[in-house]
Amino acid sequence: MEIISDISTMQQRCLAERRKGRRISFVPTMGYLHQGHLSLLSEGKRRGDLLVLSIFVNPTQFGQGEDLDKYPQDMPRDAQLARDLGVDLLFTPNKQDIYPVGYATYVNVEGLTDNLCGANRPGHFRGVTTVVAKLFNIVQPDVALFGRKDFQQLAVIRRMTCDLNLPVEIVGMPIVREADGLAMSSRNIYLSADQRRQGVALIDAIRLVKKELNQGQSDAATLISLVEGRIGQEPEASIDYVQICHADTLQDMDRVTGDSVLLLAVKVGSTRLIDNHYLCEEV
Ligand code: PAF
């Protein structure tokens, strides 16, 4: 595995690989890899000839008072995991190269970013789409893989890729969970043992909704109040949002249909956990 930090070296290398007719699979991350990332890499390996992983903690997607300064990092461990998974190129750019002095260009997806995390974290998606567009231009991937845990992020990136005619296939991969159902996230490391236990309330709440749906309840407000009740039982949990939205438009729905997704963002202590579930699928 080659580790490259310089943007133009990376871009030239990827362009040369494409000229040789090699298909590039790309997994962009902020590092501190977990099983969810590893599932993206395994699928990426299957779908391309050259597997590229980027690790970059992107400052523009963090708001004031968020965890940019303490975002977990362990480059030696990540590099070893990447090597073991068969990553060919690991791209680790510097902040000052991605956003040099005078940087002034941002990508903004309208509409889809108004609701859910977009409403809760102003500017977050502008940072995500800007860096992903830049990474796509550098890495020149044929296919890029993202986790469905960040459901809104995936929808926003699909929209951007389509709207800007970027020649990249976007693949969304299923949520990977711990044995007790907590969705895997690099941020889970912030949780104390007790908070970690409280975090299971999210999947419990999803299961409650699924059970009620199976018994014929499809009123969104009723289902949401079930979630609120379950999360409310945990002493350190506070809800940012619980919403039932259309999977494509991300607009709120009054009644559950085959296109509905339940989305949750809950702080446990100061750690923000997100989770979601397509309500037509089994939990
Ligand atoms: O999902 C993430 O880890 C980040 O939002 C991404 C897509 C790598 C952009 O920084």
Convert the pLDDT of each residue in 43-82 to its tens digit.
999 999 999 999 999 999 999 999 999 999 999 999 999 9
**Cβ of 150 less than 6 Å from ligand 1:** yes
pLDDT of residue 283: 86
CATH number of the structural domain 2-173: 3.40.50.620
Q: What is the average pLDDT across 80-86?
A: 98
What does the alpha-carbon distance between residue 244 and residue 199 come to, in Å, rounded to a whole number? 20
27, containing H or E segment: strand 24-29
C-alpha span between 181 and 201 (Å, rounded): 9
CA 213 to centroid of ligand 1, rounded, Å: 32
Residue 114 has pLDDT above 90, yes or no: yes
Task: Find where tokens 């599932």 sit.
Answer: 39
For residues 106 and 119, what is the distance between their CA atoms, to the nearest angstrom? 18
Phi then psi for residue 238, to 5 deg, are -135, 135
Percent of the chain with pLDDT over 90: 99
Mean pLDDT on 154-173? 98
3-state class of 187 per DSSP? Answer: helix
Q: How far is the CA of 61 from the centre of ligand 1 (A)?
A: 9
Band of residue 282 on the pLDDT scale cut at 50, 70, 90: confident
Cα 50 to chain centroid, rounded: 22
**What is the spatial distance between Cα 85 and Cα 41, in angstroms, rounded to a whole number?**
7
Encode 168-204: b = buried (16+ Cβ within 10 Å), e = exposed.
bebbbbebbbbeebbbbbbebebbeeebbebbebbbb
> How confident is the prediction for the chain on average, in pLDDT?
98
**pLDDT at 157 exceeding the cut of 90:** yes
State the pTM of this model: 0.97
Per-residue pLDDT, 256 = 97
Tell me the mean pLDDT in the region 92-100: 98
Cα 275–chain centre separation: 10
CB atoms within 10 A of CB 276: 23
Please name the residue whose Cα sits nearest to atom 4 of ligand 1.
Answer: 29
Which residues, including other chains, have CB under 8 Å from residue 29's CB and lie 6 or more apart? 37, 40, 53, 54, 55
Active site residues per annotation = 37
Ligand 1, atom 9: closest residue by C-alpha = 128
What percent of the chain lies above the pLDDT cut of 70?
Answer: 100
Distance 218 CA to ligand 1 centre (A): 33
Integer Cα distance of 53 and 80 in angstroms: 12
Phi and psi, residue 230, nearest 5° = -65, -45
Per-residue pLDDT, averaged over 251-267, amounts to 97
pLDDT of residue 272 exceeding 90, the answer is yes
* Single-letter residue type at 5: S
The CATH code that applies to domain 186-274 is: 3.30.1300.10
What are the sequence ranges of the domains in the chain? 2-173, 186-274
With bands split at pLDDT 50, 70 and 90, how would you rate the model's confidence at 261?
A: very high
- Rounded to the nearest whole angstrom, what is the distance from the C-alpha of residue 281 to the centroid of ligand 1? 25
pLDDT tens, residue by residue, 200-229? 999 999 999 999 999 999 999 999 999 999
- Mean pLDDT over 227-248 rounds to 98
Q: Whose CA is nearest to atom 1 of ligand 1?
A: 29
pLDDT at 72: 98
Ligand 1 site, residue 28, Cβ cutoff 6 A = yes
